[in-house]
């Protein structure tokens, strides 16, 4: 992929800035910033654009949107970058319209897949059909940010309009999962790769929230209302309402988006807040609406930790602050400490392993200079000499890591470096 000039120039500036102010990160700055564009974006035979996650040759809606998000603010005066980002936005809209329940897609209708025996509705375009609420949020985030940053509204095609309709319809159906057509069973796999109860998931109460089969990690939800993804849905539907009103003149769909967002928010605040004996009111990670819940977080985003980054609440929101203290403590069952790093991991990766995305998100959601510096120090010490971020790693022996080529981790890290430079953090 030919790198747009705006990105090449920014990469050089990043490298120079960190060489001058925080030299341990200088070798990582440019190559992590460019990693998505250099290694995972390709132009398809039909002239469109396709984004792989890195070491898996499929396009995840969530991952691809997150991978290119840091590039959006440099697209205003770079026609080549506009072409690429607009192609990705168009591809995402097409994917959702093909199957709103799928999380990852093939470059063409080639029937490729993850290599498992799955029982679900099949489609040759689909790599994997694990229904994840955040997969439908991601295209709205990316399209909205692109519009607001560049002022370009030509991305809002009829197919994008249809995508919004599909998202609203799917979220509405999944407010009462008993009415859902979706099912997913995977055979000869680990338990977290398939839905229980004959592929329908465990029973849930009607709460106003929208049901999710799987987490951002692609692991199955224990309880069907995944709070971070519902929080993301509230914000995404707000974006959809504004787009429908201002760009399509579709007041009816805008109203549907707004009302659905409020129902989901009410469900979160009614069923998703738990009184913790040590931390006070905190958000649960998942609930079923019957009084059962899980108190934890997963480093994959959307996470509870990421909510200010994703716009659901402010960093100083009282319940978020309480939740954050819980998440970054040993009371979170997926928070780990080692001799070189500490932070959130995931049930998706080995016990005790910390995620670079989690440490980066901790810094992105902090206003505490010392905490941010501590995160930067941990990131500088744990890339195992590769000058790239990884999925997860042993915080005492970072040469033990998963996924050496994980572009999302690289570009999120680069987004942190870019933001700190823009804010004059080291000035």
Alpha carbon separation from 237 to 137, 264, 297 (Å, rounded): 8, 10, 23
pLDDT at residue 55 in the model: 84
Nearest residue to 334 via CA among 363, 357, 307, 311: 357
The CA distance from 111 to 35, in Å, is: 28
Structure tokens at 418: 């870019």
The CA distance from 206 to 18, in Å, is: 50
Cβ-contact 335, 342 below 8 angstroms: yes
Return left, alpha or beta for 371; rule: phi > 0 is left, psi -120 to 50 is alpha, else beta. alpha
Low-confidence stretches of the chain (pLDDT < 50) are none
Q: Class of 44-295 per CATH?
A: mainly alpha
The CA distance from 231 to 302, in Å, is: 9
Domain ranges for the chain: 1-39+334-427, 44-295
pLDDT at residue 1 in the model: 76
The CA distance from 95 to 42, in Å, is: 16
The DSSP code sequence of 164-181 is HHHHHHHHHHTTSGGG--
Cβ-contact 229, 304 below 8 angstroms: no
């Amino acid at each position: 992929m030919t790198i747009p000039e705006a990105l090449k120039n920014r990469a050089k500036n990043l490298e120079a800035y960190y060489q001058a102010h925080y030299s341990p990160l200088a070798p990582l700055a440019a190559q992590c910033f460019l990693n998505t564009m250099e290694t995972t974006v390709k132009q398809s035979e039909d002239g469109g654009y396709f984004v792989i996650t890195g070491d898996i040759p499929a396009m995840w809606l969530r991952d691809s949107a997150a991978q290119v998000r840091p590039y959006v603010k440099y697209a205003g005066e770079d026609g080549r970058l506009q072409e690429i980002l607009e192609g990705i936005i168009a591809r995402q809209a097409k994917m959702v319209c093909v199957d709103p329940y799928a999380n990852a897609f093939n470059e063409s209708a080639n029937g490729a897949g993850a290599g498992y025996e799955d029982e679900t509705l099949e489609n040759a375009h689909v790599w994997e059909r694990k229904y994840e609420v955040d997969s439908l949020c991601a295209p709205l985030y990316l399209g909205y940010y692109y519009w607001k940053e560049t002022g370009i509204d030509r991305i809002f095609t009829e197919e994008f309009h249809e995508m919004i309709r599909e998202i609203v319809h799917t979220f509405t159906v999944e407010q009462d999962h008993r009415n859902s057509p979706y099912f997913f069973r995977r055979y000869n796999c680990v338990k977290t790769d398939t839905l229980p109860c004959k592929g329908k998931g465990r029973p849930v109460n009607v709460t106003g929230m929208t049901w999710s089969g799987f987490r951002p990690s692609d692991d199955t939800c224990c309880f069907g209302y995944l709070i971070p993804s519902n929080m993301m849905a509230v914000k995404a539907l707000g974006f959809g309402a504004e787009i429908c009103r201002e760009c399509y003149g579709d007041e009816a769909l805008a109203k549907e988006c707004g009302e659905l967002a409020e129902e989901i928010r009410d469900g979160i605040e009614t069923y998703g807040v738990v009184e913790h004996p040590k931390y006070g009111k905190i958000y649960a990670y998942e609930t079923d609406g019957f009084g059962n819940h899980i108190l934890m977080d997963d480093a994959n985003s959307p996470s509870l930790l990421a909510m200010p980054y994703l716009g659901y609440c402010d960093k100083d929101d009282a319940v978020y602050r309480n939740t954050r203290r819980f998440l970054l403590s040993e009371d979170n069952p997926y928070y780990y400490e080692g001799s070189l790093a500490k932070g959130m991991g995931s049930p998706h990766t080995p016990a005790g392993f910390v995620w670079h995305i989690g440490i980066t998100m901790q810094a992105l959601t902090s206003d505490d200079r010392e905490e941010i510096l501590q995160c930067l120090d941990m990131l500088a010490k744990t890339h195992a000499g590769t000058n790239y971020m990884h999925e997860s790693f042993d915080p005492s022996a970072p040469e033990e890591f998963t996924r050496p080529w994980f572009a999302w981790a690289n570009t999120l890290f680069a987004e942190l470096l870019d933001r700190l430079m823009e804010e004059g953090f080291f000035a």
